[in-house]
């Protein structure tokens, strides 16, 4: 059996009194597309943010590519890593946000080359060449010099995907990438994600797009109240859920 790219073991996270994650364990294998579904407040976004360390876990551990995230173990105790070490670990993951979070003072192209130039120390010329390729890949070669305010929501999100890909991550995290979009713009973003899945990228997608999950996901995980209720092959979980809570959620959504 291959090693998981992401191994999540007994991860808990509280925000004050609220238990966002309760002892969550999960594996994500290389090349796998995994969709996280569930009601808001079920912990799926928190889980994603813990993998990218935008939110530190309270207890438990997450390993990415065999490396423990955010902490190091010495003499039976855990020590939190420095901000610099965490920033380095983060380079292995790319994140796409619900609200795009493009840098509004930079053009589409500048948004994409910011990471490669500033963080990887690449030359502007090389970074530009690759960025233009990425823009072509998301179908926005003509919008290289447009500022985010001049782009539609769907275009902004596609630039955001290109920006994440420019860092050459081994794992892509999507936090409800189509939830902030007008309905007619959802398709173009899902198309890019589908293409990305086809290219063999490992993807973890928090989504309400069950159609996308059914078509593209290898596995679907249903979360509720900070815990994984059910997980399995997309067709099985979505068409024939075993758990009553999953059935209730799916019938409420569809």
**Chain residues in the site for another protein (CB under 8 A):** 52, 54, 83-84, 87-88, 90-91, 93-95, 97, 99, 101-107, 114-115, 118-120, 147-150, 152, 160, 163-164, 166-167
Find the shortest distance in angstroms from Cβ 216 to another protein. Answer: 22
Find the shortest distance in angstroms from Cβ 137 to another protein. Answer: 18
Find the shortest distance in angstroms from Cβ 214 to another protein. Answer: 28
Which distant-in-sequence residues (6+ apart) come within 8 Å of 89 by Cβ?
A: 53, 64, 67, 69, 70, 81
Find the shortest distance in angstroms from Cβ 67 to another protein. Answer: 15
Identify which of 180, 174, 122 has the alpha carbon closest to the alpha carbon of residue 152: 180
Instruction: Compute the residue count for the chain.
Output: 254
CB closer to another protein out of 74 and 84: 84
Find the shortest distance in angstroms from Cβ 135 to another protein. Answer: 16
What tokens does 63 get? 């390993």
CB closer to another protein out of 116 and 241: 116
Residue in this structure with the two tokens 């059935």, named with its chain if needed: 247
Q: For residues 49 and 24, what is the distance between their CA atoms, to the nearest angstrom?
A: 14
CB closer to another protein out of 22 and 122: 122
CB closer to another protein out of 72 and 85: 85
Q: For residues 209 and 230, what is the distance between their CA atoms, to the nearest angstrom?
A: 18
CB closer to another protein out of 63 and 147: 147
Q: For residues 89 and 99, what is the distance between their CA atoms, to the nearest angstrom?
A: 23
């Amino acid at each position: 059996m291959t090693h998981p790219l992401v191994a999540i073991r007994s991860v808990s996270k509280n925000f004050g009194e609220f238990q966002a994650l309760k002892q969550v364990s999960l594996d994500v294998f290389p090349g796998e597309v995994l969709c996280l579904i569930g009601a808001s407040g079920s912990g799926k976004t928190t889980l994603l943010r813990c993998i990218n360390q935008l939110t530190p876990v309270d207890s438990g551990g997450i390993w990415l590519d065999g490396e423990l995230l955010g902490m190091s173990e010495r003499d039976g105790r855990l020590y939190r890593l420095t901000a610099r070490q965490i920033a380095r670990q983060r380079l292995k993951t790319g994140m796409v946000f619900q609200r795009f979070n493009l840098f509004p003072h930079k053009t589409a192209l500048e948004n994409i080359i910011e990471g490669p130039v500033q963080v990887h120390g690449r030359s502007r010329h090389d970074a530009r060449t690759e960025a233009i390729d990425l823009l072509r890949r998301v179908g926005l070669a003509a919008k290289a010099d447009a500022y985010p305010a001049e782009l539609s929501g769907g275009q902004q999100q596609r630039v955001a995907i290109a920006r994440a890909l420019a860092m050459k991550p081994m794992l892509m995290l999507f936090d409800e990438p189509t939830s902030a979009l007008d309905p007619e713009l959802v398709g173009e973003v899902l198309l890019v994600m589908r293409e990305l899945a086809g290219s063999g990228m490992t993807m973890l997608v928090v989504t309400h797009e069950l159609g996308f999950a059914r078509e593209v996901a290898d596995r679907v995980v249903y979360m509720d109240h900070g815990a994984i209720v059910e997980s399995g092959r997309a067709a099985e979980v979505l068409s024939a859920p075993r758990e009553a809570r999953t059935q209730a959620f799916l019938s409420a959504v569809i």
